[in-house]
Amino acid sequence: MTTLPGIWALTMRTPIGSIHADMTFTDSDGVLTGTAAGKAETVRLHDLHSEVTPHGEHVTWRQSITKPMRLNLDFDVVITGDTMQGHSRAGRLPKSTVTGTRHVP
């Protein structure tokens, strides 16, 4: 059973500075979907997968952005409780550290 659904405050530490986004994940009858809302645009997530492991919930997804530049991003994070940690990668660029916390209503 996934613990992913909800709204997460995500931070990516990139070579050009930190980028913040609100990630919304939903589970509809076992099908995960999501969106990323950043300062400049909101985009759909693709290839969203989740697997519960002994070390936490391993989650991967892809997203394409056009601002501040056109990039295809791959994310790989682990969720433990209400925190997520991992990385994102855009093509051949170096990995960027990703951290996030679940918004508590």
Q: How far apart are CA 24 and CA 32, in angstroms?
A: 11
Q: Is residue 81 part of a domain?
A: yes
Q: How many domains does the chain have?
A: 1
Instruction: Please give the model's pTM, rounded to 2 decimal places.
Output: 0.92
Q: Which domain holds residue 56?
A: 6-95
Q: Is residue 26 part of a domain?
A: yes
Q: Is residue 47 part of a domain?
A: yes
Amino acid 14: pLDDT: 84
pLDDT of 86 strictly over 90: yes
Vertex 9 angle, CA 66 and 18, to 5°:
55
Alpha carbon 44 to chain centroid distance? 11
Amino acid 105: pLDDT: 59
pLDDT of 36 strictly over 90: yes
Amino acid 76: pLDDT: 98
Amino acid 17: pLDDT: 85
Q: Is residue 105 part of a domain?
A: no
Amino acid 2: pLDDT: 83
Start-to-end C-alpha separation, the chain: 21
Q: Is residue 100 part of a domain?
A: no
